[in-house]
């Protein structure tokens, strides 16, 4: 019997699903891909945050899992809400790719008269405006190839993409600058595998779960959850492990980037658990993070 892997239809989503299939094949498990169109894929002309923040790209796959049309669902983990539907669980996370945000310049190399940056992300907009308050930020939607085409056909300075997404589908050569000052979205670069709770495949999926990545993304997702923020919020969180130490950076900004709260922590890995994400978010809540997340930008 083949395991049915649910996936969105984009080139990147299919790469991720095929990567999971490859990992399962190494454990002698046969699979088949089931392509499902998400609400977020159907509505390409509306900004993500206006579609309703939580589950825009995951709900159709969740429903297919719950109705047993598929056995697993594969997602970019940053798209997965921190509160999961009843009956489902995050069964495994693959080893994380490069979590960085990057700038992609038009192939022409020409600049607009005014510095115009394109992104559909409230987080990326806030970080960019925090660093470059005089720049104009315009919206950008679509799958990776579509967005790259828009970059090349508009008179923009550039657009912001995820490093991992470009690298995975062969567009790494389009990266102009790595924005190492921009804190990634929680779980950016990680591939998550959802299943039904108490699934017969739990032990199998545990074999392809990357322990260090799972710890880091669980902390980041707990940080996001404690702040009651969605994947489109002006918030960054990144945990990584080096030499038995876990390093965490997080920030909450106002959508216009004018205000910002940061936190950094360093703890031994054996003292790290998802609850640390909640704890560190509470520190920023005491400093007024909730007010920043509900603050309205002058540009809206």
Q: Are 191 and 164 in contact (CB under 8 A)?
A: no
Residue 101 β-bridge partners: 162
Q: Give burial (CB, 10 Å; 0-12/13-18/19+) of 114.
A: exposed
* Cα 219–Cα 222–Cα 225 angle in degrees, nearest 5: 155
Q: Are 33 and 25 in contact (CB under 8 A)?
A: no
Q: H-helix or E-strand containing 155?
A: none
133 phi, psi to nearest 5 deg: -65, -20
Two structure tokens written together for 6? 């649910």
236 phi, psi to nearest 5 deg: -125, 150
Distance CA 249, CA 264 (A): 5
As annotated, the active-site residues are 79
């Amino acid at each position: 019997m083949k395991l049915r892997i649910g996936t969105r239809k984009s080139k990147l989503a299919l790469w991720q699903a095929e990567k999971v299939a490859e990992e399962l094949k190494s454990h002698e498990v046969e699979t088949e891909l089931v392509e499902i169109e998400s609400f977020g894929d159907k509505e390409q002309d509306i900004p993500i945050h206006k579609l309703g923040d939580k589950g825009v790209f995951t709900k159709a796959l969740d429903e297919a899992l719950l109705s047993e049309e598929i056995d697993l669902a594969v997602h970019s983990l940053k798209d997965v809400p921190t509160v999961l539907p009843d009956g489902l669980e995050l069964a495994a996370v693959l080893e994380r790719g490069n979590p960085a945000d990057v700038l992609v310049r038009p192939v022409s190399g020409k600049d607009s008269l005014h510095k115009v940056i394109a992104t559909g992300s409230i987080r990326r907009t806030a970080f960019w405006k925090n660093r470059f308050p005089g720049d104009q930020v315009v919206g950008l939607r679509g799958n990776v190839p579509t967005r790259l085409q828009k970059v090349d056909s508009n008179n923009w300075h550039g657009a912001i993409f995820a490093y991992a997404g470009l690298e995975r589908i062969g567009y790494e050569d389009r990266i102009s600058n790595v924005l190492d000052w921009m804190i990634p979205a929680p779980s950016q670069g990680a591939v998550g595998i959802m299943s039904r709770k108490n699934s017969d495949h739990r032990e199998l999926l545990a074999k392809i779960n990357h322990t260090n990545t799972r710890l880091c993304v669980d902390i980041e997702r707990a940080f996001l959850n404690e702040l009651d923020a969605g994947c489109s919020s002006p918030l960054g969180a990144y945990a990584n492990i080096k030499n038995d130490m876990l390093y965490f950076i997080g920030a909450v900004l106002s959508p216009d980037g004018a205000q910002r709260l940061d936190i950094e922590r360093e703890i031994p890995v054996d003292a790290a658990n998802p609850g640390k994400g909640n704890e560190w978010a509470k520190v920023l809540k005491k400093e007024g993070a909730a007010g920043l997340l509900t603050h309205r930008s002058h540009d809206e």
